[in-house]
């Protein structure tokens, strides 16, 4: 059977072909194309698309495509169930899921950086996931540090490091916030999909988890909030007209700006400016 996904595979797009080849479809053939061409190329090649929005084999809630393959094909191998959260944490950039996720991400990103041919990258990815499977099946109890003294010191260190505290947001959240702020400052209009792809995080996952890390707001709501925040600064510190401020903050026209401003602040922009100058 033919299978197809986005080009330049990392994490999920390497783990899933490995899983397909080893446990689902030994004769599988894989194709990698631009994301915008995956669905049309799948029809032309009679291929099953995966790890893109809008197809069956993709992310669901906080689960990645690797998780869905395991569930969809009822794969019960305990080693796969150990691997799944490692892949999920690496693919969603939430390295708190497992201690191995950060390492898998580092290796995968370095592999993609060094290898430019996607088919060669896939073959090297198989080596990584064969090794990870062997570790999950046979070597979980093996430790690099074996002496009692080393183990005691590491135990004390881990206890100190892992004190309870607030769970840190994934790295991509900080990057995305910075990019969105740049978008507001430069009056650009980028979609969440474009932003997610630029930080190399699955767009479907970013869309589903956006509210968790952005003040419980959707992407559109968060953008509008930042635009209103910027308009408040301009109202307070400049003599720009309301039409100019509407343009500078990315609204289609003054009436649209006025409507959203009143909805967010409870006042008209002109009223806010007058009260600020008293």
Mean pLDDT confidence for 195-203: 82
Instruction: Pick from 146-160, 164-178, 204-218 the range whose average pLDDT is largest.
Output: 204-218
Residue 174 in tokens: 């900080």
Alpha helices, H only, 186-214:
192-198, 203-213
Strands 2-6 and 29-33: parallel
As a three-state string, the secondary structure of 60-102 is ECCECHHHHHHHHCCCCCHHHHHHHHHHHHHHCCCCCCCCCHH
Contact 202/105 with Cβ under 8 angstroms? no
**pLDDT recorded at residue 120:** 96
Residue-wise pLDDT for 37-84, tens only, equals 999 999 999 999 999 989 999 999 889 999 999 999 999 999 999 999
Report the DSSP beta bridge partners of residue 3: 30, 48
| Residue 159, pLDDT score | 61
Say which residue, 220 or 277, is predicted with more confidence. 220
Residue 29 pLDDT: 97
Q: Output the pLDDT for position 39.
A: 94
- What's the predicted TM-score (pTM) here? 0.60
Mean pLDDT of 270-274: 86
| Mean pLDDT value of segment 193-218 | 83
Residue 160 confidence (pLDDT): 57
Question: Per mean pLDDT, which range of 70-84, 226-240, 243-257 is the poorest?
Answer: 243-257
Average pLDDT over residues 145-165: 57
What are the structural domains of the chain? 2-139 (no CATH), 171-276 (1.10.10.60)
């Amino acid at each position: 059977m033919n299978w197809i996904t986005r080009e330049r595979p990392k994490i999920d797009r390497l783990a899933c072909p490995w899983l397909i080849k080893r446990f689902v479809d030994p004769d599988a053939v894989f194709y990698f194309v631009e994301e915008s061409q995956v669905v049309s190329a799948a029809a032309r090649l009679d291929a099953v698309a995966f790890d893109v929005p809008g197809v069956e084999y993709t992310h669901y809630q906080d689960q990645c495509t690797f998780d869905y393959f395991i569930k969809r094909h009822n794969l019960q191998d305990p080693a796969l169930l150990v691997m799944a959260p490692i892949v999920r944490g690496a693919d969603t950039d939430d390295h708190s899921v497992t201690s191995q996720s950060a390492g898998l991400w580092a290796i995968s990103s370095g592999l993609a950086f060094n290898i430019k041919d996607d088919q060669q990258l896939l073959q090297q990815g198989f080596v990584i996931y064969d090794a990870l499977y062997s570790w999950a099946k046979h070597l979980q109890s093996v430790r690099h540090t074996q002496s009692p003294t080393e183990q005691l010191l590491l135990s004390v260190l881990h206890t100190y490091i892992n004190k309870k505290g607030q769970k840190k947001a994934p790295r991509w959240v900080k990057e995305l916030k910075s990019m969105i702020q740049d978008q507001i400052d430069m009056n650009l209009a980028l979609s969440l999909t474009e932003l997610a792809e630029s930080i190399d995080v699955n767009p479907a996952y970013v869309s589903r988890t956006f509210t968790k890390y952005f003040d419980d707001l959707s992407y559109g709501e968060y953008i509008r909030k930042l635009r209103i925040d910027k308009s408040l600064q301009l109202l307070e510190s400049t003599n720009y007209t309301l039409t100019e401020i509407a343009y500078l903050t990315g609204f289609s026209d003054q009436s649209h700006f006025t409507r959203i401003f009143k909805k967010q602040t409870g006042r008209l922009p002109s009223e806010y400016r007058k009260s600020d100058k008293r």
